[in-house]
Amino acid sequence: MGTYRYLLGKLGQLFLTLLLILSLAFLLFRVWQPGDPVLTWARAQNAHYSPEQLEQVRHEWGLDIPLPEQYVQFMKDSLTFNFGTSTVINPQEQVSTLFSRGMGKSLILILTSTMASIAVGVVLGIWGGWRRQGKLDNSAMGVSMILYSMPEFVLGMILILIFAGVVHWFPSGRYESAVTLTGFDRYVDIARHMALPWLTLMLAFVGEFYLVMRSSLLDVLGEEYISLARAKGIREKYVLRRHAVPNALLPTITLVALSFGFILSGVITVELVFSYPGVGKLSYDALRFRDFNVLTGTFVISVVAVLIANFIADLTYGYLDPRVRRA
């Protein structure tokens, strides 16, 4: 029973947070917005519109109805991912279509690289925390600090300068080559294009996960139950594997979920550096041309993504720590 209550509680919390953030977004995007979005759009089009035409656009965008109704409409649209048509980038096309085109490319990049950096960071972090101030820990600590201090786009450009500029191992950008390839060759081509952005995102967050896992393990190693385990004569290997690591993983899960917002931010700049045609690049284009419908889409989709990541973290937490479920 406790498990279901825990699940339902977390789902309710997720929904509440989503509603709160969307309301905040409505306040910012619609109520508080300085300047008239329709006029901005008209200016960006570089064409002359008569007041009647502008009024027509305003009506199409649903900006001529009272604010409370706009609020209901905004919430409904956001929850169904209906952001209207793109205004500047690709006029007349649905924003959701634009997003779905880039979503797959971005998802595969984000998910695989994040998984890899979590795995590498956590494993190295366990090792480093266990053999504190050993050779591996000291060098991993230095590298982690530098990676942590480096903006993702700087890392990406360094990799381009080395791997695409000096040794020509990988192409410096885009999703695939201009020549049409089919079957296996095409996948190899795509993988080669994805290599550098993937490596950038992986390295960019591995340092953070290393630092988090290491300090979490160090916290746990100071606990009394570790001394007890040792006093019982359990071999060090098992003290680490059975007693220390599972408990040290718990705070790490929360921190990984919280850093997901930063990962999404990193993806936008990395996709820009590598002109990778995912949702990050789309968001950048929307920003450059002030396409507010697409920007709203970016915001809502990233909020949903972060909330889902947090929800998954909560589930994992509940699975690993029975105390949370019962509480």
Residues that bind other proteins (CB under 8 A): 16-17, 20-21, 24, 28-29, 33-35, 132, 145-146, 148-154, 157-158, 160-161, 165, 172, 215, 218-219, 221-222, 258, 261-262, 264-265, 268-269, 272-273, 283-284, 287-288, 290, 292, 295-296, 298-299, 302-303, 305-307, 310
Contact 221, 273 (CB under 8 A): no
As measured in angstroms, the least distance from the Cβ of 316 to other proteins is 16
As measured in angstroms, the least distance from the Cβ of 228 to other proteins is 18
**Residue closer to other proteins, measured from CB, 24 or 327:** 24
**Residue closer to other proteins, measured from CB, 229 or 263:** 263
Task: Label residue 237 exposed, middle or buried (CB < 10 Å: 0-12, 13-18, 19+).
Answer: exposed
As measured in angstroms, the least distance from the Cβ of 284 to other proteins is 6
The region, left, alpha or beta by phi > 0 then psi within -120 to 50, assigned to residue 105 is alpha
Q: How many beta carbons lie within 10 A of that of residue 15, not counting itself? A: 12
Contact 320, 250 (CB under 8 A): yes
Question: In which element (H, E) is residue 139 found?
Answer: helix 135-149
Q: How many beta carbons lie within 10 A of that of residue 6, not counting itself? A: 18
As measured in angstroms, the least distance from the Cβ of 5 to other proteins is 19
As measured in angstroms, the least distance from the Cβ of 104 to other proteins is 19
Q: How many beta carbons lie within 10 A of that of residue 183, not counting itself? A: 7
**Residue closer to other proteins, measured from CB, 154 or 234:** 154
**Residue closer to other proteins, measured from CB, 118 or 159:** 159
